[in-house]
Structure 1
Amino acid sequence: MTTAQPAPAPLTRPELVCPAGTPAALKSAIDAGADCVYIGFRDETNARNFPGLNFSRREMAEGIDYAHGRGAKVLVAVNTFPRAGRPEVWHQAVADCDSLKADGVILADIGLIDHAARHHPNLRLHLSVQAAASNPDAIRFYVERYGIKRVVLPRVLTVQEIAEVNSRIAPIETEVFVFGGLCVMAEGRCALSSYATGQSPNINGACSPACDVRYTETSEGITSELGGFTINKFAHTEPAGYPTLCKGRFIANDKASYLFEEPTSLNTLAILPDLIRAGVTAFKIEGRQRGRAYVSAVVQAFRDGVDAVMAGKSLPDIDLDRITEGGKQTTGAYEKAWR
């Protein structure tokens, strides 16, 4: 006589958290099927502080109304680190998130988290990936001390490690990146860009700011520079990528290569079932600096992917090569194929 095996636990549908760098992108993300969008104010309080991006207070209020009217949520990234002795701009950003009825605020700085927990007790707090909390002890510290409801996990864990973390911190929510740009630094804590441009991504909110970017065309091709440093040289037949130091091509041992990281995009469509079974609460798409076409295409692809998994169907065949960085894709640390 055989013993009946217990039925597998039902899968929980993950929330699809999508980027919106502009009001138009917010509408595109929601219309394409986003459960939630994350946005930032038009100042240094968020880590995508680029000209032409982000929201005024009026635009944010309108965006929140648009999202709520369609059953979607809005999270606000206040994920840079306040200047020492000058936290007022960051404090005001958190207060405005509360008064504008945002569904949550994404914070990285422990002092700002403490301020938010004490002064805005009804505001839902999420821990930014830039806090780099990747183990149960670190996560429980933020939860028990400050009431954090969700942690965005750093992109250094395998799927198995994520499942183990979730089993030890439940019912705390976890959010993981599923598509977009990668950073070779400790989740955006970039010293290279600061060295080259004098602007800190973690305080000023802009990695490789456009004002420091130069392209020079020569008879041999195009040279890209950042802060006066040559980052790459492209032949006329090559697409010239954006000059970030970590994805620059340099000469070492008489060979030109990408020393830190090749231009490539994270894409986890193929392993969505594994991430869902690992107990992840939310899937996050990177790209607040990208346009509406990118947002619509990626959100629709992952909406279709999640819906297929939850319906017990095969994953759809979706090609996102045209919008990936360098035309290349990787599952990154989730599978750690290099080990």
Structure 2
Amino acid sequence: MSPCEIALINLLNQMALKTFPGLTMAIGKGDKIIWQHGAGYADAKNKIKNKSEMIFGIGSITKIFVAVLILQLNEENYLTLDEPISTWLDKNVLADVANAESVTVRHLLSHYSGIPSWEDQHSWIHDARGKRVKPEKIWLPQENLDYIRGKKPLCAPGEAFHYSNSNFTLLGLLIEKLTSNSLEEELYKRIINPLLLKSTSLESVASLENQYSSKRFHRLDPHFIKKAGVSDYFKIEPNNILDVSAINLSVEWAAGGIVSTAQDVVNFILALKNGELLNPKSMKEMQQWMPADNAEMGLSLFRMDTDYGTAIGHGGNVLGASACVWWYEKTNCALAILTNVGSMHASPDAHCASTMFKNAEVGKLAQEICSYY
């Protein structure tokens, strides 16, 4: 085992001990997984150790999967990127959604739609992640849109970047409208089955019962208490975390409802990077970069400078999980980090997979490991 592999194992184990109950990481080079490790516990109370095959929520990494479906449908002439979505979606779906009549598929994919995000609405936060959570509830996609109906637009379409989960609810509905299949069916048909992603699914009751599904936790701090409140179904655990394992991710759907393993996520991002899922024209479209806060945004891909090189990918953060996946632009290296702790609505500095990627040396060590293979 190389010194950089030992150093990365030690780093992950320390992070699990101090910061996360459990986390997994996988590294890919070329078209293969070359390294993976599970640290900490999937269920500390029952002494169930975390393994590399453990399943976690991947949050907004789901958006890359959905973007691939949309771009495939564009390649097959089901849609065009610069037509308004009102061309295809029914008026009752779009009723009272800001900019809905004029916003295009490209605007949605790039978060330049100006449509408010349901995730930012106080009532939604209370209902879906906080004090009014009902674990048995299976959310329907259009329910989320009800939280933004009648809200003012954040800007005109194409004018500015505003990250919005509402964009991907609309894209998921568009996929179902055009294909006459469920979003889950299209994910299996076009991505999950062709790539043999055996541990990846859009969350359902069945996936919750998988023996490899980790327990779910969330950061508990004054920010979360003020914004979301604490449901009676959540259990307060040591180290200021909540056990939120009672919940399901149906509310996230096309914006963040996929569960997976670090290995599957890396295999997916390598397939995308290597042109196995989209043609060259679509890949070029996907990487037309525009300003996006402290980074750049393509069609559901972020591009940002890090201490260890420019990286392309996406982070994810939902109730009970956080994750990120990145490939380095100038080295043949990709990585994914998945954890069983979410930090949405907690302090901006609360630990999650993305803060770990930005602040720790995982990127440096991952690229050093790639250089050995």
User: Quick check: which has more Rg, 1 or 2?
Assistant: 1
Please give the TM-score of this superposition, normalised by the length of structure 2.
0.26
Please give the TM-score of this superposition, normalised by the length of structure 1.
0.28
Q: Which has the higher contact order (CA 8 A, sep 6+)?
A: 2
